[in-house]
A and B are shown apart, each in its own frame.
Chain A
Amino acid sequence: MSEEKPKKDGQDKWEPRIIAFLCNWCSYAGADLAGMSRFGYPAPIRVIKVPCSGRVDPLFVLRSFEQGADMVLVSGCHPGDCHYTSGNYHARRKLLAFRELLTFLGIDPRRFKISWVSAAEGGKWSSLVAEVTEEARALGPYKEFPRSVSEGVSDEG
């Protein structure tokens, strides 16, 4: 599908498309705080709010790539601080194992990031996004999303 996806940011300069899943209580609030504190961060990041990092199904990550993401980020509360006590432990185990599987699926694991940002870490959020965006820019557009995987996740629902 994705040959002609509009990866242009207004003008002619290519900008990566980064999809971020943020837990409601820490990372989303941290991103909010970054905004309220007027910390700037690069625009290519697109945020989806989930109740908890533990809500992130590996399928969401695949679907994001399939829909044209160049980078996917999952961010939750620091280990031990999850609003739901243990959601981020589940997320950490699951997503780290999943990252190992990405290579097997033929997906570049460098395009999948996991981080912990608390509600107080507006500054951290802003520098994290800057960092991730830089990496995504360096990696360039993601064009090699495997067809086989695409078939597995494209069917809505």
Chain B
Amino acid sequence: MIKLTINGNEAEAAEGQTILDVARELSIEIPTLCHHKAIPPTGACRICVVEITAGARPGLVPACAYPAQDGLEIQTDSERVRESRRMTLQLLEARCPEAKVIQEMAAEYGALDLPLERKDEKCIMCGLCVRVCKEIIGPAATCFAGRGPEREISTPYKLLSEVCIGCGACAFVCPTEAIDPAEFCSIALEKIPNEFNCGLDSRTPVYIPFPQAVPNKPVIDRENCIHFRTGGCGACKTVCPADAIDYDMEDKVVEEEVGAIVVATGYQLMDPAVYEEYGYGKYPDVVTSMEFERMVSASGPTGGGLHRPSNGELPKTIVFLQCIGSRQETDGKPYCSKICCMYTAKHTILYKHKVHDGQAFVFYMDVRSGGKNYEDFVRRVVKEKVATYLRGRVSKVFPRGGKLMVRGADTLGGGQVEIAADMVVLAPAVVPSSGVQELAQKLRIGYDQHDFLLEAHPKLRPVETNTAGVFLAGACHSPMDIPESVAQASAAASKALGLVTHERLTREPTIAVVDELTCNGCFECENVCAYKAIERKEILDKDGVVTAVLAHVNEGLCQGCGACGVTCRSKSLEVEGFRDLQLFSAISAISR
């Protein structure tokens, strides 16, 4: 083990670590420019210099490239170090006054005073981009071109590159944001839209799906990952200190035997582009409520800054349109989506937090604020004039003079209104998550005409389904907000626990039973059982040889509908309580 001291702190280092690595482990700040974890260091920019005071030849060395050695004593912020960095920055600043990082660093080191004519560049010639392209990604699309003062980063012969694969790594590693790959890349650079932020920003091919994801671990998007596309790169593997990246991992089908299943697949919003009159998808300033939610979120794509997507300006006038597709018998969903009235009221408040002197309008059909304290919340929004509520529908949204004109009816005030808005926010109908039909069919549970999953009884068994052991929680059942979803989830969890924590399962006694003496194992019953309750039972003789395979009813799954009995040709299956004999007697009795 290597032992050294940095700024008087004793530290241990492993073979191959640099002074920079060790310092960072100790949370000692050392500025870098031409260093990137995934790329072997070259020590080109010399911003990371530190002073060796003992243990080797004293002097200044680049921390990013200098290996940790036993007995080294290092100062990272001594007078000599600061002076050296100041000189480096003076020169860089004179060359690259446009680069923001350089300006900031230079200000910190008092290096803004060099009486030199300023160039107007951003590139500091550290060569990171050239190296990432050649050493990490592989194609070597970029190189240094020219000599002396003419030296620059470009492609061979400064032509549009044919080997560039459009990965954007060069721009990504550049410390001064000097690179626009479009200048030399012959194929269009595609940004990968960040799904969690409704595509409002982009993400990298290896990414943590969203903040608070469980488990909070990155995933690799194979379609976009350079390694999977070309076999190159591998940068994430190089930098991962836990050595957790394994490109050979395959998706696995995991089979688990479980006693209960809770379906909580939630909802999505319907695509409001189907209503052309609102201009969604045509005018960038028309957004959905979900996009708005991301825009005003502190962890969102804009860090909470609300800007008009068209020009980045503050939206001084904003119009919220409720019931987009909800409560529309003819060309939408007939039901009320239930959550939009409340979140729209919330959005008007959030809007006012962002734009204090802004004006918000809400077009609504009715304000449905059923729920504890919900009416108070909406009243507050109206009373404190957070937003102006207009009862009526909007007939058209169209652009005029850089604004969006929102034309609608104000049925309470009377007459047409036209509002010149900077942004329009739509509240589209809540619909079940896509793919819910296949899931329901797989689980053999019911769904209604809108694909919301069916409960066993609307009043008495609201979180159970008609298939024993399958429960529902949240918006997969019907549109609902978080408190309601949480209440349902708690109910479903306790129902599930009630099922699996008992020694024995209780069930209705009226289930099907097989008469093994007459069953001949045709398994016609298998086809009609909606619950897959018919199992195959092997009948063994005394030597353990299978002599017959007969139907057997799984008592936990059977719901006692009796379809199997009617199908059985040998009348070997009957539902207890509704046996043929019992029903025949009933017929005779009732006919008297």
Chain A residues with a Cβ under 8 A of chain B: 17, 19, 46, 48, 50-52, 54-57, 59-60, 63-64, 67-69, 80, 83-87, 90, 94, 156-157
User: Which of B466, B567, B578 contacts A84, CB < 8 Å?
Assistant: B466
Knowing A67-B591, A90-B528 are in contact, say whether A54-B583 is a contact too (CB < 8 A): no
Q: Assess the A57–B580 pair: CB atoms within 8 A.
A: yes
Which residues on A sit within 8 Å (CB–CB) of B377? none
Knowing A51-B575, A55-B566, A157-B581 are in contact, say whether A87-B587 is a contact too (CB < 8 A): no
Please indicate which of the listed interface residues B531, B565, B590 has the most CB atoms of chain A within 10 Å of its own CB: B590
**Nearest CB of B to A4, in Å:** 13
Q: Assess the B581–A63 pair: CB atoms within 8 A.
A: no
Knowing A84-B559, A84-B561 are in contact, say whether A94-B566 is a contact too (CB < 8 A): yes
Knowing A57-B566, A84-B530, A87-B530 are in contact, say whether A51-B587 is a contact too (CB < 8 A): no
Contacts between chains A and B (CB distance < 8 A), count: 86
Which residues on B sit within 8 Å (CB–CB) of A19? 587, 590-591
CB-nearest residue of chain A relative to B563?
A54
Complex CA–CA separation, A57 to B567 (angstroms): 9
Knowing A51-B562, A52-B563 are in contact, say whether A60-B591 is a contact too (CB < 8 A): no
4 nearest A-B pairs in the assembled complex, by CB-CB distance: A55-B562, A84-B561, A67-B591, A54-B563
Complex CA–CA separation, A50 to B578 (angstroms): 7
Q: Is B316 an interface residue (CB 8 A)?
A: no
**Nearest CB of A to B472, in Å:** 15
Q: Is B325 an interface residue (CB 8 A)?
A: no
Q: Assess the A85–B466 pair: CB atoms within 8 A.
A: yes
Q: Assess the A156–B584 pair: CB atoms within 8 A.
A: yes
Q: Assess the A64–B530 pair: CB atoms within 8 A.
A: no
A-B contact list, 14 entries, CB within 8 Å: A19-B591, A46-B590, A51-B562, A54-B562, A54-B566, A55-B563, A55-B578, A59-B580, A64-B591, A84-B559, A87-B562, A90-B567, A156-B581, A157-B581
Q: Is B446 an interface residue (CB 8 A)?
A: yes
Knowing A84-B530, A85-B446, A87-B530 are in contact, say whether A50-B584 is a contact too (CB < 8 A): no
Which residues on B sit within 8 Å (CB–CB) of A87? 530, 561-563
The 0/1 profile, CB within 8 Å of A marked 1, for residues 559-592 of chain B is 1111101110000000100101101111110110
**Nearest CB of A to B97, in Å:** 71
Q: Assess the B584–A157 pair: CB atoms within 8 A.
A: yes
Q: Is B444 an interface residue (CB 8 A)?
A: yes
Q: Is B510 an interface residue (CB 8 A)?
A: yes
CB-nearest residue of chain B relative to A52?
B561
**Nearest CB of A to B284, in Å:** 42
Q: Assess the A67–B587 pair: CB atoms within 8 A.
A: yes
**Nearest CB of A to B367, in Å:** 28
Complex CA–CA separation, A68 to B590 (angstroms): 10
Which residues on B sit within 8 Å (CB–CB) of A67? 587-588, 591
Q: Assess the B466–A83 pair: CB atoms within 8 A.
A: yes
Complex CA–CA separation, A98 to B467 (angstroms): 30
Q: Assess the A157–B580 pair: CB atoms within 8 A.
A: yes
Complex CA–CA separation, A64 to B565 (angstroms): 19
A54-B566, A59-B580 given; name 14 further pairs at CB < 8 Å. Answer: A50-B583, A51-B510, A51-B561, A51-B578, A54-B528, A54-B563, A55-B563, A57-B565, A64-B587, A84-B561, A87-B561, A87-B563, A90-B563, A156-B588
Complex CA–CA separation, A84 to B562 (angstroms): 10
Knowing A63-B584, A84-B466 are in contact, say whether A55-B561 is a contact too (CB < 8 A): yes
**Nearest CB of A to B569, in Å:** 12
**Nearest CB of A to B122, in Å:** 65
Q: Assess the A68–B591 pair: CB atoms within 8 A.
A: yes
Q: Assess the B590–A90 pair: CB atoms within 8 A.
A: no
User: Which of B466, B530, B565, B588 contacts A55, CB < 8 Å?
Assistant: B565
**Nearest CB of A to B438, in Å:** 15
**Nearest CB of A to B114, in Å:** 80
The 0/1 profile, CB within 8 Å of A marked 1, for residues 436-452 of chain B is 00000000111001000
**Nearest CB of A to B210, in Å:** 35
Which residues on A sit within 8 Å (CB–CB) of B561? 51-52, 54-55, 83-84, 87
CB-nearest residue of chain A relative to B527?
A90
Which residues on A sit within 8 Å (CB–CB) of B566? 54-57, 90, 94
Which residues on B sit within 8 Å (CB–CB) of A59? 580
User: Which of A50, A63, A64, A80 contacts B562, CB < 8 Å?
Assistant: A50
Which residues on A sit within 8 Å (CB–CB) of B510? 51
Q: Assess the B562–A48 pair: CB atoms within 8 A.
A: no
Which residues on B sit within 8 Å (CB–CB) of A84? 466, 530-531, 559, 561, 563
CB-nearest residue of chain A relative to B440?
A85
Knowing A86-B530, A90-B566, A157-B580 are in contact, say whether A48-B586 is a contact too (CB < 8 A): yes
Knowing A51-B575, A55-B565, A90-B566 are in contact, say whether A85-B530 is a contact too (CB < 8 A): yes
Complex CA–CA separation, A48 to B567 (angstroms): 20
**Nearest CB of B to A107, in Å:** 16
**Nearest CB of A to B355, in Å:** 48
**Nearest CB of A to B154, in Å:** 66
Complex CA–CA separation, A156 to B584 (angstroms): 7
Which residues on A sit within 8 Å (CB–CB) of B560? 51
Q: Assess the A69–B580 pair: CB atoms within 8 A.
A: no
Q: Assess the B591–A69 pair: CB atoms within 8 A.
A: yes
Complex CA–CA separation, A60 to B561 (angstroms): 16
Which residues on B sit within 8 Å (CB–CB) of A54? 528, 561-563, 566
